Amino acid sequence: MKHRFFVAILIVALLSTLLLAGSVVHAQSEDSVELAFLVDGSSSIAGDDFTIMKNGIADALENDQCVFHDGRLELTVIQFASTARVEVDKAQINSSGDAVAIANAIRNMGQLGGSTNYADAFDLATNTIRFQKQRQLINITTDGAPNTPDSFAHIAAVQRAIAAGFDEIDVEAIGFAFTRSEVVSAADTSGRDAISILRDEIAYPQPGILVTTPDQWPPAGPGWVRTVASIQEFAATVCQKFRVVLVGGEGEIASPTPAPVQVPEPITVVLFGTGLAGIAGYARSRRKR
């Protein structure tokens, strides 16, 4: 009876050790993402600058240090000006070849020209995205505030996007001087400047985070507005933006993360080994008898 009790205690100890090992997981996985990338193609952006912007985005997409190439990212690119149109429609990037094809489509975009209509861009994103992956994100790149007749229309469009399921909206503001008061349009008498509109009415979740200097990057959380001095600076830093949007930081994203691996703590290994040794010793003592 005493021997059976001893064996039972050892078995319970081993099972407890295995359960403890199973509860300790040291692996990080990134969520699958649907990203709607809204690109300003209004007339305030010169043709040469629009080309630089397109090439910067395309180069980053081709670089697997910047963007997932393993099926976790589904990308929609929407260009907006007076109206909005889909340039890349729900394209899943499963390989480097997919990334190159999408990058070439972006390089071949013709500039729309016209005013700056945020509302149409957000509504088109809401109506295009499938909402089938783990996270839905919007990133908007613009050089100016909305200047449509209704300068508040974008607020309702942003709320529709959030209600539909978008988790995060981030902004890159090109050529904005934070100290400059840039009034939205002659029709807007509220005195809102462009940066305030982007931070307080576009970025999500609120309150929006304003990033104006390199030491503030990466941002403290989602819902940020990053100011860059020029189109050239945007093109040079767009890879950083993709990293933050996709994984929340600037860590390595090139290799697909495997399924979480259960790794026991050292003390767990010791306990497990001790239990096995106890059973082996007990078996030897029984044989000697």
Is residue 113 classed as helix, strand or coil in its secondary structure?
coil
Which run of H or of E encompasses 12?
Answer: helix 2-23
Which run of H or of E encompasses 50?
Answer: helix 47-62
Greater pLDDT, 219 or 29: 219
Taking only the tens place, the pLDDT of each residue in 228-254 is: 989 999 999 999 999 998 887 654 454
pLDDT at 42 over 60: yes
Q: What is the mean pLDDT of residues 115-133?
A: 97
The per-residue pLDDT for 151 is 77
The per-residue pLDDT for 169 is 98
Residues 6+ apart with CB under 8 A from 246: 30, 33, 35, 67, 68, 73, 253
User: What's the CATH code, domain 33-247?
Assistant: 3.40.50.410
Greater pLDDT, 59 or 146: 59
Residue 223, both tokens: 């819902």
Q: Which range among 42-51, 141-150, 172-181, 269-278 shows the weakest confidence by mean pLDDT?
A: 269-278
Give residue limits of the domains in the chain: 33-247
3-state helix, strand, coil in the chain (%, to 5): 45, 20, 40
The per-residue pLDDT for 179 is 38
Greater pLDDT, 55 or 188: 55
Is residue 110 classed as helix, strand or coil in its secondary structure?
coil
The per-residue pLDDT for 149 is 82
Residue 108: DSSP 8-state? T
